A and B are shown apart, each in its own frame.
Chain A
Amino acid sequence: MRFTTISEELAVTKLKKGIEREIEGYFESKGFSLIEPRIFQKYDEYVRSNFRQDSSKTVKVLSGNSRIFILRPDITTNVLGEIFSKWDGEPPLKVYYNSKIYLNKPGGKILENYQMGIESLGDDILDADKEIVEMATALMGTLGEPFILELGSSKYLDGFFREIAMNASDESEIRELISKKNRYSLRRKLQSLQIEGTILDFVLDMQGNMEEVIKMAYSHEINHEMKEALDELENLREFFTDKQMAKGIKFDLSMLPDLDYYDGIVFKGYCQSIPNKILSGGRYDRLTEEFGVRVPAIGFMIDMDLVTRIRNKGEK
């Protein structure tokens, strides 16, 4: 945020600090401990584990012996490195962070983005899904505006693509069209590949009301991985319906994760007055393998710059 007067800046900073304390208190009451990410990461390591990310967006720093480091562009992979160098998967670990990420912006500027978030490692999958998504919903609820939390699972489409023989470039084109919700080009692409009568014809209808989506999705499930994805979502649907928290939660099975490493539940939180996602998270068990032990892992981050903006508007 940009300020014209120092008093305005101090007032907003005070508000932000207050919100941070509130959220920190909430995380701690749920048994999460603060972890501080390192600011520098090795460039090669980052590129290796994030091969699909645009590494040109990372802010590079040269060390004294000309090694390339980057300022942390995301917090999850950063804290996992720290954690797995000292932890072998037991007992379950719950951490939260309150930090910044740095990315290059057009015009030579550097974006600093304030984020808070949590990671739950090694806990039972279904329990952790419930706990984390409930906490995400609770945080969205504190914004004082109508919100939507959209939930999907990367395993549903991954499971499908595993069943069908398709070259990598067609698959990535189809994924791109799905992620753009581009029904018409998707249909044309499928016709040109002569793939008809698969879930790809319906996947863009699988969004909205939880009950309708899950019912439809079950009728198109063709393997264990897809079923597992739906069982996990159904677990959440029942949980939220019982708790009467289902309002504002939508399913979207055509949602593709923003980050490579998600495999399972993915979710994003929106408020009507802000054109970007405020909260995002998901399950990333597969990523933990790269650190040596595969454990169940799920987490989310919330964009504190946006949260402050919304709450600041509400205060006025």
Chain B
Amino acid sequence: MDNITIAIAKGRLGEKGLELFKNTDMEIVREEDSRKLVFKDSKEKTTYIFVKPADVVTYVEKGVVDLGIVGKDVILEENKDIYEIMDLNYGRCRFVIAGFKNLYSVKKNDVLRIASKYPQYVQSVFENRDQRIEIIKLNGSVELAPLIGLSDVIVDIVETGNTLRDNGLEILEELDPISARLIVNKVSYRFKYETIQKIEKILGGE
């Protein structure tokens, strides 16, 4: 088996990914409360590094790691040249367009202002639509934007829709479904093909 380096998105999604390796050869060995960003398994064959979600895709594309575990939302936003080989079937949610009722259709002939953490993705969604848009890039609390008049609608990921409802917004359109994915560098995929297939099996692939 080849040595493998895996980039893990910091946070809940990445932690859940690590659980999938539990009780296998690849299980991570970590000290309690460590601030380290690099860990290995007990045989030191697998290296895990912890990075921000958006950087997982970059690390994989640049080939400094072989594999990455990251949400589909980040993959769509980053749109990099990688293989996306597995749906890990957790972290399910959905990209949606949300806003106040009716406003969406009224804006047909006007510039639609869209607030989002995912500007590239929004651009790609509206690329072939007959709608002029202005994208407002935010870094959090996107739901706030329509409430205070910063934007007409938002594009964001939604799990239950509770946050939207609490803020008086509704889903106007459902876009791509999201979940955690296993991504791989194209060159690693070719050079470490057998090992990567084994990892797919460990992660529940057929």
Q: Which residues of A contact B (CB under 8 A)?
A: 146, 148, 150, 180-185, 207-208, 250, 270-272, 274-277
Pairs across A and B, CB under 8 Å, 19 listed: A148-B191, A150-B190, A180-B83, A181-B83, A181-B189, A183-B85, A184-B86, A184-B87, A184-B205, A207-B193, A272-B191, A274-B63, A274-B187, A275-B61, A275-B62, A275-B64, A275-B186, A275-B187, A276-B187
Contact A182 B85 (CB under 8 A): yes
Of all chain B residues, which has the CB nearest A148?
B190
Of all chain B residues, which has the CB nearest A258?
B81
- B189 neighbours in A (Cβ, 8 Å): 181
A-B contact number at CB 8 A: 50
Among B62, B64, B191, point to the contact of A270 (Cβ < 8 A). Answer: B191
Q: Convert B186-203 into 0s and 1s, putting 1 for each residue whose CB lies closer than 8 angstroms to a CB of A.
A: 110111010000000000
* Bound Cα distance A159, B56 (Å): 37
CB distance from B59 to the nearest CB of A (A): 10
* Bound Cα distance A141, B154 (Å): 52
| A208-B193 contact in complex given A180-B84, A184-B86, C-beta closer than 8 Å | yes
- A277 neighbours in B (Cβ, 8 Å): 186-187
- Which of A146, A181, A185, A272 has the most chain B CB within a 10 Å cutoff? A181
Q: Convert B57-89 into 0s and 1s, putting 1 for each residue whose CB lies closer than 8 angstroms to a CB of A.
A: 000011110000000000000000011111100
* Bound Cα distance A207, B184 (Å): 16
**B151: CB under 8 A from chain A?**
no
**B5: CB under 8 A from chain A?**
no
Of all chain B residues, which has the CB nearest A250?
B190
**B116: CB under 8 A from chain A?**
no
- B184 neighbours in A (Cβ, 8 Å): 181
Of all chain A residues, which has the CB nearest B196?
A181
CB distance from A246 to the nearest CB of B (A): 15
CB distance from A192 to the nearest CB of B (A): 12
Contact A270 B187 (CB under 8 A): yes
The 3 closest A-B pairs by CB, nearest first: A275-B63, A184-B87, A181-B83
CB distance from B48 to the nearest CB of A (A): 19
- Which of A148, A250, A276, A277 has the most chain B CB within a 10 Å cutoff? A276
- A182 neighbours in B (Cβ, 8 Å): 83-85, 87
* Bound Cα distance A271, B185 (Å): 13
Instruction: Give chain B interface residues in 149-190, CB to chain A under 8 Å.
Output: 184-187, 189-190
Among A181, A185, A272, point to the contact of B187 (Cβ < 8 A). Answer: A272
- A146 neighbours in B (Cβ, 8 Å): 191
* Bound Cα distance A189, B14 (Å): 26
Contact A270 B190 (CB under 8 A): yes
Of all chain A residues, which has the CB nearest B86?
A184
* Bound Cα distance A270, B190 (Å): 8
Of all chain B residues, which has the CB nearest A209?
B193
- B185 neighbours in A (Cβ, 8 Å): 275
| A183-B205 contact in complex given A208-B193, A272-B191, C-beta closer than 8 Å | yes
CB distance from B141 to the nearest CB of A (A): 28
| A183-B86 contact in complex given A148-B191, A208-B193, A274-B63, C-beta closer than 8 Å | yes
CB distance from A313 to the nearest CB of B (A): 14
- B85 neighbours in A (Cβ, 8 Å): 180-183
- B187 neighbours in A (Cβ, 8 Å): 270-272, 274-277
* Bound Cα distance A240, B108 (Å): 60
Of all chain A residues, which has the CB nearest B200?
A183
- A276 neighbours in B (Cβ, 8 Å): 63, 186-187
- A271 neighbours in B (Cβ, 8 Å): 187
- B190 neighbours in A (Cβ, 8 Å): 148, 150, 250, 270
CB distance from A145 to the nearest CB of B (A): 11
Contact A185 B87 (CB under 8 A): yes
